[in-house]
Structure 1
Amino acid sequence: MDYSQRMNMIDMFTDPPEYRPPATVEEMAGSVDYPNLNSQQYRMTRKTSAPTVLNPCLELAARNSAGQVILVGNNYMGRRWESSFYGWENAADVPDQSKACFKRQCRYSITALQFTQDPNLFLLGSDKGSVELWSTRNPARGDGYSLYQVDVQSEHIEAVSAMDLFHGDENKLVTGSHDGCIKVWLYGADLASITTMTNAHTDEITALTTNRNELSTFASTSLDRSALLWDLRKPRPATALFAKHQFAFT
């Protein structure tokens, strides 16, 4: 074999020095010399900032002991999936956006919502696998509403699909995700996961509910057609309520 005749693959696929496509979106819009740049132009185009509005797909709502209401709307029709949430002092003002006490636009879909036992704290789960702790008031910030994020943890690999709180002296919650993982958390000044069941189910977890009278037990359902009762005090915590049910639990 005559190695002097071989082709240098690096040189073959290297852009020649005279190849200088437009570098900005404005230059691309007026150029006809360099075709097939549509995808690059799309990536470089900045999305115009829009005012915060309650997105049309209303999927989640929560009400706390003080009567405050939070409503979550997701948007699946735009360039990117996003969400927003609005909070009202009382249910009579819903859904009048002009009477909302606080609001926030998010660059992801919100998939779970829960008020905590503290009426000024609430929790969100997202399609990016994060769990977020939010506060609506803080004495250090003065009177009135002052929405801010206390902590966020991204420990689920896939979207959070279910969430519920334990009712007791200890601030605990449980979350489940699309990949069948269940996590137990402590919340307060921050968020910290204390227990993880990676393969709790073999499909998406569709619901979680805690026992109001027992602080260590909860139940879970899944698209894998099973429903499990969990006791966190046991070394093997899961007990099957239904296994291979005729239909998936939604």
Structure 2
Amino acid sequence: MENWNTPSTNGDIFRNMLFTDRPPVVNKNLQFLLIYDEHNALLGGTNMVDLYWTGTLWHYKDISDFTREKAAVTQQMSNGICDAVYLGYNKFVVVEDSGAVQITEIVQAANEQSEFQFLERACQHDDSVLTVSGFSNKRNIVTGGMDCCLKVWDIEDLVATYSYSFAHTDIITSTDVKPMCSSEFVSTSLDGESLLWDIRRAKPAHCIFKKHDCHLSAVAWNTVLDHLIAVGAADGSIALIDVRQTENPLYESVESDRGIHKLLFNPNPERKEQLACCSDATSVKVFDTYREMLPVFEDNSHSDFVRGLAWYKDDLFSCSWDGNVIKHVVFSSKDNSS
């Protein structure tokens, strides 16, 4: 009689396969986009449709074309990558779903081609790192993730100088730092709280916004108005918070029928009121925070969830799980009203 109890050996084959032997996956689910200037940009993606959730980094010397073939450097990573931040023109930090934090530099090889050089790597989080933000001194960063822990790192030695275990009571979804400051940052969590942190204080954190029975999923600090913070929630609402008085939000309204994923203020001082937003949907939106979150731009060109946003010279770039990067021309509110 034929034995039907023999287990399949395919699982053992894939489990024992070395990272270098794994077949490359071209179509990555894009997770983030960073633009340093028109000759320096970084794109990151994680393959979520294969047995291995591996990541890929692409470095571009021309932001006019983000097709994968135009990348100056392409590097496959052994783990999924969740977020990144620039430390300088040729150096950045990447955080992984393995819990690792990695410093990488872009260098010129002997053949005059660019390549990634991995400088330092540390794994002090106990679960996936979902968010990283860099202070203006380019020496310190803050990370947070699924272990509910926040860490402030010294990049020189890649050591966590401050570690706040159970900073939140649930997964930390987003962080952002105060402009031109090396000690204050803000965090959001699935526990429904947004906390303002100052590492100089004995009691470093206090709550600036709480949403009962609703996850908080995104946060952005205005790069020009250092008292203004935007917080996004899973119910599609966005709240504007003045950190000088946090009893009540300046404004709060539902702006999407899906949960907010990322918020990003325009760094241009002349357009500091513009707040870009993407949610668990295909749309990219920009709001005027001076005019009660008046929508000034919306685009639905993507065919899957939008995950990354980046401003450059008033143009907004977005990347999506559909594998595409799209440039959006956003006019100012004055232009729209004229």
Q: Which TM-score band applies after superposition, normalised by the shorter structure?
A: 0.7 to 0.9
Q: Which has the higher helix share?
A: 1
Match in the other structure for 1:68: 40
Q: What does the per-residue CA deviation read over 1:10-53, in whole Å, with 9 as the maximum and x for residues that have no partner?
A: xxxxxxxxxxxxxxxxxxxxxx7794231x44213565543473
Q: Provide the secondary structure at the position in 2 that maps to 1:91.
A: coil
Q: TM-score, normalised by structure 2?
A: 0.58
Residue number among 174, 179, 189 corresponding to 2:142 in the alignment = 174
Residue number among 100, 103, 106 corresponding to 1:133 in the alignment = 103
Q: Provide the secondary structure at the position in 2 that maps to 1:137.
A: strand
Q: Distance in 1 between matches of 2:60 and 2:155?
A: 24
Counterpart check, 1:84 vs 2:84:
no
Structure 2 residue ranges without an equivalent (≥5): 218-338
Match in the other structure for 1:196: 163
1:56, distance to aligned residue in structure 2 (A): 2.8
Match in the other structure for 1:213: 180
Residue number among 76, 84, 90 corresponding to 1:105 in the alignment = 76
Conserved? CA contact 1:179–1:202, under 8 Å: no
Conserved? CA contact 1:161–1:204, under 8 Å: no
Q: Distance in 2 between matches of 1:121 and 1:52?
A: 26
Q: Per the alignment, do residues 244 and 94 of structure 1 end up closer, same or farther by CA in structure 2, a change over 3 Å counting?
A: closer
Conserved? CA contact 1:124–1:133, under 8 Å: yes
Q: Per the alignment, do residues 56 and 146 of structure 1 end up closer, same or farther by CA in structure 2, a change over 3 Å counting?
A: closer
Counterpart check, 1:149 vs 2:118:
yes
Q: What residue identity is the alignment partner of 1:201?
A: H
Q: What residue identity is the alignment partner of 1:74?
A: T
Q: Distance in 1 between matches of 2:54 and 2:22?
A: 13
Q: Which has the higher strand share?
A: 2
Asked which structure has the greater CA Rg, the reply is 1
Q: TM-score, normalised by structure 1?
A: 0.77
Conserved? CA contact 1:120–1:135, under 8 Å: yes
Q: Distance in 1 between matches of 2:37 and 2:158?
A: 22
Q: Per the alignment, do residues 155 and 133 of structure 1 end up closer, same or farther by CA in structure 2, a change over 3 Å counting?
A: same
State the structure with bigger RCO (CA 8 A, min sep 6), 1 or 2: 2
Conserved? CA contact 2:135–2:180, under 8 Å: no
Conserved? CA contact 2:99–2:123, under 8 Å: yes
The two structures, once aligned, show a CA RMSD in angstroms of 2.3
Q: What residue identity is the alignment partner of 2:74?
A: K
Q: Provide the secondary structure at the position in 2 that maps to 1:92.
A: coil
Q: Distance in 1 between matches of 2:53 and 2:202?
A: 40
Structure 1 residue ranges without an equivalent (≥5): 1-31
1:75, distance to aligned residue in structure 2 (A): 1.1
1:66, distance to aligned residue in structure 2 (A): 5.8
Q: What residue identity is the alignment partner of 2:44?
A: V
